[in-house]
């Protein structure tokens, strides 16, 4: 009888020891996990941009070939410098133009007559201008009238891929280059862990699309990207993705 009780007691003690070791390991792992920096992850998205540019011009009487060959009564000449579009596109073939005269409340479309390259790499546009709405009211255009010319590339034409939150893109203080961190999963004796890898990237043109950073190229299978982290990371750091 005493031997049986001793065996039971020994079994209980062994079970308690095993439970204690398990609980200790659980809390030890939990504590170690909480020491890892917490990250938010995600994937690149696509988006579009509307490019616009406005410049002040005057309405002038059409002369020469503009009047003779293009049947224009009035012309507007507008200069768009290279700096206005160089970060967005290489040309302005897709840009529409409209004029907003000082005494007209809404934009009026312009008809392109000529486009020549300017000394600064931009373009000088000459447009035919007419205002049927004013003519219908008996109000006629006068030479020298001030006008705002608005250029626009319609939404959807400037389509960008590989957009990331600006918080996901970091700059190397020594080289000036840019990099991101990706997350991969590793298995181990105590379960899975998540590790970050640094990957160098190049910004596209434009560098930003709205409030998103534009990356020129990313591998298709790049995996989850660190969008936000609570402290600085190094290549190979272990992180947690669940808070």
Question: What does the pLDDT read at residue 120?
Answer: 94
DSSP element (H, E) containing 32: helix 2-35
Instruction: Name the maximum alpha-carbon separation found in the chain.
Output: 124
Asked whether 173 and 72 are in contact (CB, 8 A), the reply is: no
Digit-by-digit pLDDT tens for the chain (243 residues) are 445 565 665 565 655 566 555 444 444 445 456 678 999 999 999 988 888 999 999 999 999 999 998 999 999 999 999 999 888 888 888 889 999 988 787 899 999 999 999 999 999 999 999 998 888 788 888 899 999 999 998 756 678 889 999 999 999 999 999 999 999 988 765 567 899 999 999 998 888 887 899 999 888 888 899 999 988 899 999 998 876
Q: What sign has the CA pseudo-torsion 164, 165, 166, 171?
A: negative
Distance CA 67, CA 89 (A): 32
User: In 3-state terms, what secondary structure has residue 68?
Assistant: helix
Question: What does the pLDDT read at residue 26?
Answer: 46
**Smallest Cα–Cα separation from 203: which of 155, 166, 156?**
166
Question: What does the pLDDT read at residue 112?
Answer: 95
Question: What does the pLDDT read at residue 233?
Answer: 92
Q: What is the tens place of the pLDDT at every residue in 30-46?
A: 545 667 899 999 999 99
Q: 89: which 2 tokens? A: 């596109």
Q: What sign has the CA pseudo-torsion 182, 185, 186, 192?
A: positive
């Amino acid at each position: 009888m005493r031997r049986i009780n001793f065996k039971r007691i020994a079994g209980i003690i062994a079970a308690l020891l095993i439970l204690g070791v398990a609980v200790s390991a659980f809390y030890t792992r939990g504590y170690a996990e909480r020491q890892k920096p917490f990250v938010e992850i995600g994937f690149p998205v696509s988006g579009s941009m509307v490019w616009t540019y406005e410049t002040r011009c005057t309405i002038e009487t059409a002369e020469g070939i503009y009047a003779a060959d293009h049947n224009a009564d009035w012309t507007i000449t507008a200069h768009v410098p290279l700096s206005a579009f160089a970060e967005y596109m290489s040309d302005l073939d897709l840009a529409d133009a409209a004029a907003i005269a000082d005494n007209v409340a809404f934009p009026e479309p312009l008809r392109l007559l000529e486009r020549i390259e300017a000394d600064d790499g931009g373009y000088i546009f000459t447009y035919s201008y007419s205002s049927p709405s004013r003519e219908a009211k008996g109000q006629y255009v006068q030479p020298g009238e001030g006008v705002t010319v608005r250029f626009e590339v319609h939404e959807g034409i400037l389509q960008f891929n590989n957009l990331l939150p600006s918080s996901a893109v970091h700059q190397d203080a020594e080289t000036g280059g840019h990099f991101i961190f990706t997350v991969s999963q590793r298995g181990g004796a105590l379960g899975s862990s998540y590790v970050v890898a640094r990957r160098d990237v190049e910004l596209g043109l434009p560098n930003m699309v709205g409030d998103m950073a534009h990356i020129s190229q990313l591998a298709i299978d790049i995996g989850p990207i660190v969008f936000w982290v609570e402290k600085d990371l190094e290549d190979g750091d272990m992180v947690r993705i669940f808070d």
